[in-house]
Structures are given as structure tokens and as C-alpha cells.
Structure 1
Amino acid sequence: MKKKLAFLGAGSHADAIAPVIDPLVYDFVGFFDDKDITEHDGYPVLGKLYDVLPYLEDGSIDAVFITIGDNAKRKELFEYVAKDYYDCIINIISPNALVLTPDSICGRGIFIGFGAFIGSKVKLFDNNVVNTGALIEHHTVVESHCNIAPNATINGLCYIREEVYVGSASVIIQTLDISSCTTIGAGAVVVKDIIEPGTYVGFQPKK
């Protein structure tokens, strides 16, 4: 029997993820969202974001995925659901993504998009977003609640701490440590550790 799946978040991020749902495993039933809307993309909005727990409790839905791009908000919702229903939070991985070692998937709420590459011995923890064409090379660790934008490259043996946003087409060279709550701008080239949270842009990026 297919599981009844709902998304937390009815917006563009949900639209990007929805086509990757496996229709043989999940029956998509609708959204939870705080906007004043009753449907999105032809599916009902079942309630506000924080209305989801009773639906899980009574079996109206079996599975959820958080479709919000903002790291802090996604973390807040993840922790709210995970406290009692961690096992109901699913991973959504494109069949066109390449994950070299299955034990790289070390949590729940992980999205890996079309054409993404996850190298050998990578560790991806809870609630991470790896977008279209992103590349994470061997032995890199990505802590929870990060967002790796399309075509970003994280080279081998890096350590990416919680709530990092890695912008489109940016490059992090090998063996670097990136502070939590950091934003790396699109096209940036990071060649040394980032030890303080902030927004970094350009080559050898600065705040």
C-alpha cells in the first residue's frame, strides 16, 4: 500500500521537489502552509504548517517532507515534527542523482535533485537540500539544515556545519571547514576556512 504524503510548504520549492516523488511509493495528498490559500497546484492545503501533527497522529497522512528553502525556517519545522514523528519524515532522491555510497544518507528530510553527485564516503545529515547538478565530493560532511544550490561544488574532505547556504556555481576547495549559519554567494570561490557566520561573496570571499 502506498503511503499518504504531504508537503510542509506550498510554494516554488515544493514545485521543484514534487516531480521527484516516487508515485509507486507515495500518494501525494496535499500541503500545509501558512498562506491564506486553499489549494496549490491542484492539491488541497490541509492546514497551517503547525497543524500537521494531528494528521500524523490519526493516520490521515503517513509521511511528510518539508518544502521550504530557508534554512532556519526549515530547521524549525523539522525539529517540530521530528520530536514525535521523526520516522515519518522521508527522503526524496532523484533517480537521476548519483550517490556513490548508500551510507552517505545519514538522516531524514534530505532532498537530492536531478543530476546531483554525492561522492564516496560523504555524510549528509538531516534536512539537507542538494539541488540540481550540485557536486559534493568524497569524505565531505554536511551537517543538518543546509542548502546546496544548483551547480555548486564542494570538494573533498570538507566540513560544512549547520544551516549553511552554498550559492549557485560557487566552489569550495578541498579540506575546508565552513562555519554554521554561513551564506556563500553565487559564483564565490572559497579557498580558506570560514570561521565566522556571515555572507561571503567573490574570490577568497569576504563579508
Structure 2
Amino acid sequence: MKDKLIIIGASGHGKVIADIAIKMNKWKSITFLDDDESIKTSMGLEVIGKTADAFTYKDEADFFVAIGNNAIREKVQEILIEQGLSVISLIHPSVVIGTDVEIGIGTAVMAGVVINSSTRIGKSCIINTSSSLDHDTIIEDYVHISPGVRIAGSVTIGKGTWLGIGSVVSNNVNIFSGCKVGAGAVVVKDIIEPGTYVGVPVRRVDR
């Protein structure tokens, strides 16, 4: 771990990430990179350049990609990893983590989250505010779990999937990669193909 943390993305999601980093109290300085030149500061922290400038700071900083869009976050983080930059995870101090839990690099776990035993979380996931993941659950890489999501035990969420705010996934359910599950939706059986799913219980609304 280095003395500096650079957060890529200075908008709303970046602000929450910065707040977690501040509360973790592990870095002497925290700054942002953002491609929007009109943003000079965020959360009172300086924006020191664009995403491409990350490589200038390769040897002196840890990095976190604070981009909400799963596909863009994946693209940026994979380049950082490939080029040997230090990508770290951020876990809010209030999080409750059970025994035998694994959390991949670049993942953010936000305030009020509960992760129960023997759960596996992949690279660069967003486990958002006050969500809960029960035992033996697998969250694959680049998944976004929105605030207040409830995931029961022995669930698998495929790569790049997005679960909307307040959605619920019943136990022993598998959700295919690249799905979008709407706000407040309830998933009670396997989702076996990509698409957008809404309702109680969910139904597919696009192809």
C-alpha cells in the first residue's frame, strides 16, 4: 500500500468512494482523475488530471476506478492491471463481513453492507449501501449491486450484471451474465439469458 490514493472518476460514485477512503484513514493524500475538465475539485479533493494521466503516478499511488457503468469500469481497470498499477479495494468501516469471505481487487463495499460466510466477490464490483449478501454466494467480476439489495444464500450473479435498488434474489438462484434487474424486482428462479428483467416476480422486457 502506498501513501497516495488516486480515484478515477470524480462524480457521484467517486464522492462515495472518496468518503470510504477518508474513513479508512490509510492514505496521506487522496486525489481524483476525471476526463471532465470542468471538474476541478470533488469532496474538497483536487482533480489532478485525466484518466490517461494515471500512468504518470504508477510508482507512487494506489488506484481505484470509481465509474458506475460496469463495462467502462472493466475497460479502465483491466488496462490499469495490465500495466502493473496498484489497484486496491475499499471497504467501509461499518461493513460486517463473515468468515471465509473473499473480495476481489477494485471492489467497493459501502456503508451498512452485510456479507455472510463463504461468499466470493470478484474484481471491481460495487456492493452498494445497506445491501446484504447471504452465505455461499458468488458475485462474479464487474457486478453492480445497488443500495438495499437483498441476496439470499447460495446465489450466483454473473459477470457484469446490475441489480437495481431494493431488488431481491431468492436462495439457490443463478443470474446470467450481463443482466439488468429493475428496482424492487424479485428474482425467484434462475435467469438463463441476458436481458432486462422487472417485476414481482421478474419477467423479461427486452431482448
Are the aligned partners of 2:105 and 2:124 in contact in 1 as well (CA < 8 Å)? yes
What is the match of residue 160 of structure 2?
163
Matched with 2:4 is: 4
Structure 2 matches for 1:128-167, cutoff 5 A? 128-167=125-164
Structure 1 residue 51 displacement after superposition: 2.2
Give the Cα separation in 2 of the matches to 1:127 and 1:50. Answer: 19
Over aligned residue pairs, what C-alpha RMSD do you find? 1.6
So what's the TM-score if we normalise by structure 2?
0.92
The secondary structure found in structure 2 opposite 1:15 is helix
User: Which 4+ runs in 1 deviate beyond 3 A?
Assistant: none
User: 1:32 Cα shift?
Assistant: 1.1
Identity of aligned residues (%): 34
Whether the aligned pair in 1 keeps the contact of 2:2 and 2:61 (CA below 8 Å) is: no
Paired with 2:103 and 2:7, the residues of 1 have a C-alpha distance of 21
Whether the 8 Å CA contact 2:64–2:87 is kept in 1: the answer is yes
Deviation at 1:188, TM superposition (A): 0.1
| Residue type at the aligned position of 1:134 | S
Give the structure-1-normalised TM-score. Answer: 0.92
> Which residue does the alignment assign to 1:81?
80
What SS does structure 2 have at the residue aligned with 1:46? coil
Q: How far 1:38 sits from its partner (Å)?
A: 5.1
Aligned length: 202
- Which residue is 2:88 aligned to? 90
Tell me if the contact between 2:149 and 2:166 (Cα under 8 Å) persists in the aligned partners. yes
Correspondences of 1:8-157 after superposition (within 5 Å): 8-21=8-21, 22=23, 24-37=25-38, 39-41=40-42, 42-56=44-58, 59=59, 61-85=60-84, 88-101=86-99, 103-157=100-154
SS of the counterpart of 2:153?
Answer: coil
AA in 2 matched with 1:97 = V
